[in-house]
Amino acid sequence: MPVPIIQLRNVAFDFENTRALSDINIDIARGEFIAVIGPNGGGKTTLMRLILGLLTPTEGEVRIFGERPGTNPDRIGYVPQHSNTSPGFPASVEQVVLMGLAQGNSLFGKRRGIRYTREERAQAEHAMRRAGVSDLGKRRLNELSGGQRQRVLIARALITQPELLILDEPLSNIDPYGRQCILETLTGLDAQTTVVMVSHDLGITANAVTGIIAVNRFALASSGAQLTPAMLDLMYGIHEAGCPVHSLLQQMVETMPSENKLTQTQGKTASGCGHDTH
């Protein structure tokens, strides 16, 4: 049985004397497309930051590709919430994508200095094509829509051709067309690329995911794209019929597919999103 590329064993995390995550045991295999869902403040982003090595667990162990998180940044692509970036920053789309090459592990490494090599620019061009933003290279971020900006950040994460892509709410505040383009980009990636995505919008991701992890201080994982009653209980508590929350939860279950469906969009450039999956 292949070793999972993400392994969390008995992980707990405390934030200012409050236990934010407890008893987390998760395995994610290569090639999976995982949606991480849960209520606000439930620990989804904390879980992502533990996987990335931006936080150290209070208890337990996190292993990424069998190593400590942060050991090999080129194998992991990260797309933070786009609200963390400033659209007015003096940089073109190409320059933002090239920032994905900056790496601090070696003080005297090759990737230093102001000028980028031809190979580095070719890497950026390839990443921009995969994300469907190759025609925006010279434009500044504040000239782009929210969806376009998010795809630029995805291109930045893809420039090192990572084996694992982690996205924190990439679809929030994006219009439906932009969401569709982003999802096409993600589902069109190489089948060996593992995607872990925090998303509130389970409906739109339903046809793309191969697994779901529900997080609300604890975590429950499903083996397929199935939202189980236990997951709903964990995230939102038990609500009786007649309660407005109960009908909302029913709707969430009904939007999930009855079977595990993965829409294969590899090689297609539908919807005019303009991305290249190769």
Nearest to 78 by CA among 105, 49, 116: 49
Work out how close the CB of 81 gets to another protein at its nearest, in angstroms, rounded to a whole number: 9
Q: Does 62 sit near another protein (CB under 8 A)?
A: no
Q: Does 17 sit near another protein (CB under 8 A)?
A: no
- Among positions 54, 144, 253, 262, the unique one binding another protein when judged by CB under 8 A: 54
Work out how close the CB of 137 gets to another protein at its nearest, in angstroms, rounded to a whole number: 12
Residue placing its CB nearer to another protein in the complex, 92 or 269: 92
The residues in 221-260 that bind another protein, with binding defined as CB under 8 A, are none
- Among positions 126, 129, 156, 275, the unique one binding another protein when judged by CB under 8 A: 156
What token pair was written down for 214? 């529900």
Work out how close the CB of 69 gets to another protein at its nearest, in angstroms, rounded to a whole number: 9
Applying CB under 8 A, the span of 10-18, 50-58, 125-133, 198-206 interacting with another protein comes to 50-58
Q: Does 96 sit near another protein (CB under 8 A)?
A: yes
- Among positions 19, 27, 39, 53, the unique one binding another protein when judged by CB under 8 A: 53
Q: List all residues 6 or more positions away from 33 whose beta carbon is below 8 Å from its beta carbon.
A: 186, 187, 194, 195, 197, 208, 209, 210, 211, 262
Task: Give dist(CA 206, CA 214) in Å, integer.
Answer: 14
Q: H helices of the chain, where?
A: 44-52, 93-98, 118-131, 146-158, 176-187, 202-205, 229-236, 244-255
Q: Does 86 sit near another protein (CB under 8 A)?
A: yes
Asked whether the beta carbons of 81 and 195 are under 8 A apart, the reply is no
Work out how close the CB of 154 gets to another protein at its nearest, in angstroms, rounded to a whole number: 12
- Among positions 4, 43, 73, 137, the unique one binding another protein when judged by CB under 8 A: 73
Residue with token string 């919430």: 81
Applying CB under 8 A, the span of 97-105, 182-190, 220-228, 268-276 interacting with another protein comes to 97-105
- Assign 192 to helix, strand or coil: coil
Q: Does 68 sit near another protein (CB under 8 A)?
A: no
Q: Does 13 sit near another protein (CB under 8 A)?
A: no
Q: Does 95 sit near another protein (CB under 8 A)?
A: yes
Task: Give dist(CA 133, CA 65) in Å, integer.
Answer: 30
Tell me the backbone φ, ψ of residue 20, rounded to 5 degrees: -85, -35
Residue with token string 């009653």: 229
Q: Does 64 sit near another protein (CB under 8 A)?
A: no
Q: Does 70 sit near another protein (CB under 8 A)?
A: yes
Asked whether the beta carbons of 145 and 173 are under 8 A apart, the reply is no
Q: Does 162 sit near another protein (CB under 8 A)?
A: no
Q: Does 121 sit near another protein (CB under 8 A)?
A: no
Q: Does 90 sit near another protein (CB under 8 A)?
A: yes
Q: How many helices (H) and strands (E) does the chain have?
A: 8, 9
Query: 234-252 b/e with 16+ CB inside 10 Å = b?
Result: bbbeebeeeeeeeeebeeb
The residues of the shown chain that bind another protein, judged by CB under 8 A, are 52-54, 70, 73, 76, 78, 80, 84-86, 88-92, 95-96, 99-105, 111-114, 138, 140, 156
